[in-house]
Every structure is written in structure tokens, then in C-alpha cells.
Structure 1
Amino acid sequence: MTEKQHHCYKATIRSKNTKPKLLLRKVPFCRGFRYRLNHPRLPGHPDLVLRKYRTVIFVNGCFWHGYENCKYFRLPKTNIDFWQKKIERNKERDKKEQCQLAAMGWHGITIWECQLKPKIRMQTLESLAYTLNHIYLEDRKVKTYEIPESVNNLMAAEPKPSYGKTKHP
């Protein structure tokens, strides 16, 4: 493959409506999870935004985001310096966006393209449904606060009771 052919090939790779992203969209919708696509005001333009769950889902390509635990991730044999730097920048950007989302109170889930391969796809999607339900229940749990016994239980507006002799004017 010549350099020009390689460039043309890489230029055809899309970021929206890819096969993994289309696969991921079908199952949550069938299970009643409603979402928006590529919300422009959230950091990173998440692939799926589930407002009810305050959760965003990113579907990342193993190569482009440097998923080293994947057998499909392999650096090209040419222009190694360029690709290493590019993938590192992508990883740093992903971390920064996840931190920004967390600071805004959003849960972030990353699903890797290799997790949507036929062998483990259903396991991944089951895990996603479980995680979303868990997030929903945890966020809506009634929080109870207990005051330790060592703390004086007086209200701030109550005067401290005085016992014993009191002086009357």
C-alpha cells in the first residue's frame, strides 16, 4: 500500500454511525433506555447521553484510543513516532473529558470496540444494562444522616439549659 493509498484509507474512517456504535444503540433502546446522540454541550461529545441516568457512553475504537488490553490494537509499522504521539494525545484527551464529566456530576462509561465483537457482545450489553440500573438506583437512594453520639445534639438556636440556682433580678 502506497502512502497515498494509506492516507485515502484512513480518511474514509468515520467517527459517527460506525458499526460498533450502531450495534450499541439497538439493545439499550429495545430495553427501554432512552438516549440522545453526540450531545454537543458535553465534553467529548459522548456517543450516547442518558439524561435520566446522568450517564454518558463512549464507544471507542481500540486502535484510535490505544486500548492495549486488546488483541486488535497494534501500532502501524511505519511512522511509529507520529502514531504513538497521536494515540497518547487521544488518551490524555479522553481522561480530561472523563474528569470534566465527573466534575459536572455525570457518570462516564467507555465501551471498547472489541467488547462488541460477536463472542462477548451479549455479555457486554448485559453488563451495561446492569450498570445503568445500578446507577439509577444509587442516585435515587434515600440518604440518611446519622449524628455521632459524641456530638452535642443541641440545635444551634437552643440556649444551653442551666440547672441549679438561678439569679432573679
Structure 2
Amino acid sequence: MWVPLILGLVAVQRMGELVLARRNTARLIAAGAVEIGAGHYPLFVLLHASWLAALAVLTPWTTVPNPWLIAGFVALQLARIWVIASLGRFWTTRIITLPGAPLVRRGPYRFVRHPNYWIASLELAVLPLAFGQLWIALVWSVANALLIHHRVRVEEGALSERNRC
């Protein structure tokens, strides 16, 4: 029964990331950082939680996943870890900015802006497709694209002052 195993592993990973994000957020706030755009954050929590729930409810648990797409999803997890490691203490799930701190320009940030959003967007499509859930991939990808469009604008505004550092 691959579906509960894989979804369980994804859920455990995401919960671990939330613990790390909360710890980093608390440390940054204590150091004088500020949160920007907090109003849309619950929508991301809802999006990601409902995506996982939809996969769990709508995918027959006897489904055998496509091994190539699962391998792609695993590769995305490695890229996700690269992003988290590259940002270090600055990685959070919220938009937190520490005035005067230089922007991170190592790891995947050398090549692309907002790599975490690209990775998360691909994850929202690849995992459902691995289980044959085209509609979950489409619906959640469109919802994510709308949220990401707004979030990137908010984040770019928050980071514009730090771009000059």
C-alpha cells in the first residue's frame, strides 16, 4: 500500500519543516525581523493541507504509483532540502525579513529567484500525477499559481530594500 506510506512520509516531512520554520521565525523576530503579508499565509496552509487530504481521500490506497514520477518527486525533495540548507536560519514558511541583512545568493539562489516556490509548484503537480490524479494536479496547481503570484509580489516588495545590501 504505497499511497498511505508515501503520503505519510510527505506529511511527516512537512510537519518537521513547520517545526523548523517556527523556530527560525521566532529567532528572526527576536533579532528584529518583521513579518510581511501575514494575511495570505493561512491560504497556503489550507492549500497544502487540502492537497494532501485530497490525495489521501480520492486516491485508492491500492494504487501503484508511477515510479518515474515518484523518483521525480524524491528529486524535488532533495532540491527542497538544498533550498532550506542554503537559506539556513533565514528559511521560514512565512515572509520574514531582517532589515539590513544581505540576501542569500548561494545554492539554488545563484540560478533562480524563489526556487522554493518553483519546487513546491512542481510538487503539487508531480505527486498527484504519480498516483494518476490529474484533476488534483490541475486544481491545486492553478490555486497555487494564483497564491504564488500574489506572494512573490509581496515578497519582492519586502525584500526590495535588502536587494541594495
Determine if the TM-score, normalized by the shorter chain, exceeds 0.5: no
Higher strand residue share: 1
> With CA pairs under 8 Å and 6+ residues apart, which has the higher RCO, 1 or 2?
2
Q: Report the TM-score, using the length of structure 1 for normalisation.
A: 0.38
Q: Report the TM-score, using the length of structure 2 for normalisation.
A: 0.39
